[in-house]
Amino acid sequence: MTTPLKRHADELDVDEDLVRRLLRDQYPQWADLPLRLVVPTGTDHTIYRLGDELVVRMPIMAYATRQAAKEARWVPFLAPRVPLALPLPMAMGEPGHGYPLPWSVVRWIDGERADRDTLDLTQAAADLAAFIRALHACDATDGPPAGEDTGWRGRPLGLWVERLQPWIERLDSFPGIEVILAAWQDALSAPEWNRPGVWFHGDLGGNNLIARDRRLVGVIDSGYGVGDPACDLMSGWTLFRGESRRIFFEACGLDDATISRARGWAIAPSLIGLSYYRDVPHLQQNARGAIEGALAD
């Protein structure tokens, strides 16, 4: 039995036995299906594939518990309106067996995590931009406003300044930190979003993009909300380079200020990740890769 890698000092322990017991109590029709830990792990959920068509999402941090309810409300609304597959909610689970949080079951999207090796980047740039345009065009009336529930994505980039300072102070000896901070300051200087808020996903990084046969086919996880869409352009800095980057930003159809703020969204959480995930290799590499991309031509 594979044990999930610990990501936070105070995270909840989740293993296959716990998931199996919860299923037997609450969704016995699925309780005997095979369970397989999905790796690499994300930052705030432990994920198990359930049979061939389902996924069990178990929050390991209390702050992540509202995400499942939000997805249950809004993914069915958004999914028919965007050109990439979303993980449709199938069931909500209740606390039990010492596990104190709600959890969820969603549809599996067949494929592999998207990255520079598993995608045709030129095609992916056009496909992800089409997804973003379609998402931003969805009716935002009554959509969840950007704020704490979205990890502050969709809010002004300047909200990161105070939060980042103690983490930046720990990176004095990190190679190239002066260049990284100069790029961060440049992003902060970009004009803020001054139009009505639009729907955003919040974290369109490679870990949340699904590829199949080198094509982008799905988008998982989310901090869906309504606000500044700059955070949705992060992949322009972290995943794409050169011509594919140009295609992506041009096809998204947003202004230079939004593209600049997107660079800040690629850098800010990564500055925390460089230190916070020092002992979690794949998340540490994600942070390094995002910053390398944000600084690349």
Q: Which stretches within the chain are classed as H helix?
A: 16-26, 65-78, 121-137, 160-169, 177-188, 235-238, 242-252, 256-276, 281-295
Task: Tell me, yes or no, whether 116 and 94 share the same domain.
Answer: no
Tell me, yes or no, whether 8 lies in a domain.
no
Residue 9: the pLDDT is 86
Domain coverage including residue 63: 16-107
Q: What's 85's DSSP letter?
A: B
Q: Name residue 99's beta-bridge partners.
A: 96
pLDDT range class, residue 1, cuts 50, 70, 90: low
- Count how many domains the chain has: 2
Tell me, yes or no, whether 266 lies in a domain.
yes
Tell me, yes or no, whether 4 lies in a domain.
no
Tell me, yes or no, whether 155 lies in a domain.
yes
Task: Tell me, yes or no, whether 86 and 210 share the same domain.
Answer: no
Which residue's entry shows tokens 């369109």? 204
Alpha-carbon span 238 to 233, nearest angstrom: 9
Q: Per-residue pLDDT tens for 2-43?
A: 677 788 888 999 999 999 999 999 999 999 999 999 988 788
On the question of pLDDT at 155 being above 90, the answer is: yes
Alpha-carbon span 287 to 215, nearest angstrom: 24
Domain end, chosen from 74, 107, 140, is at 107
Q: What is the mean pLDDT of residues 266-274?
A: 94
Does the pTM surpass 0.85? The reply is: yes
Q: Per-residue pLDDT tens for 210-253?
A: 999 999 999 998 889 999 999 999 999 999 999 999 999 999 99
Tell me, yes or no, whether 5 lies in a domain.
no
Whose CA is closest to 57, among 35, 76, 81? 35
Tell me, yes or no, whether 9 lies in a domain.
no
- Percent of the chain whose pLDDT exceeds 90: 82
Task: Tell me, yes or no, whether 89 and 164 share the same domain.
Answer: no
Task: Tell me, yes or no, whether 139 and 70 share the same domain.
Answer: no
Which residue's entry shows tokens 């359930």? 50
Task: Tell me, yes or no, whether 182 and 286 share the same domain.
Answer: yes
Task: Tell me, yes or no, whether 61 and 178 share the same domain.
Answer: no
Task: Tell me, yes or no, whether 157 and 279 share the same domain.
Answer: yes
DSSP-based three-state secondary structure for 194: coil
Task: Tell me, yes or no, whether 94 and 132 share the same domain.
Answer: no
Question: Taking CA 70 as the corner, what is the angle to CA 60 and CA 78, rounded to the nearest 5 degrees?
Answer: 125
Alpha-carbon span 170 to 228, nearest angstrom: 29
Length of the chain in residues, anyone?
297
Domain end, chosen from 58, 76, 107, is at 107
Q: Per-residue pLDDT tens for 134-147?
A: 999 999 999 999 98
Q: What is the mean pLDDT of residues 94-110?
A: 97
Residue 188: the pLDDT is 97
Q: What is the mean pLDDT of residues 103-123?
A: 96
Task: Tell me, yes or no, whether 41 and 185 share the same domain.
Answer: no
Tell me, yes or no, whether 232 lies in a domain.
yes
Residue 146: the pLDDT is 92
Residue 147: the pLDDT is 86
Q: Are 273 and 284 in contact (CB under 8 A)?
A: yes
CATH of residue 215's domain is 3.90.1200.10
On the question of pLDDT at 207 being above 90, the answer is: no
Task: Tell me, yes or no, whether 170 and 38 share the same domain.
Answer: no
pLDDT range class, residue 205, cuts 50, 70, 90: confident
pLDDT range class, residue 278, cuts 50, 70, 90: confident
pLDDT range class, residue 67, cuts 50, 70, 90: confident
Q: Are 21 and 58 in contact (CB under 8 A)?
A: no
1 versus 253: the higher-pLDDT residue is 253
Task: Tell me, yes or no, whether 123 and 269 share the same domain.
Answer: yes
Residue 257: the pLDDT is 98
Tell me, yes or no, whether 140 lies in a domain.
yes
Half-sphere exposure of residue 202: CA atoms within 13 angstroms, side-chain side: 22
Task: Tell me, yes or no, whether 248 and 124 share the same domain.
Answer: yes
Domain end, chosen from 107, 142, 157, is at 107
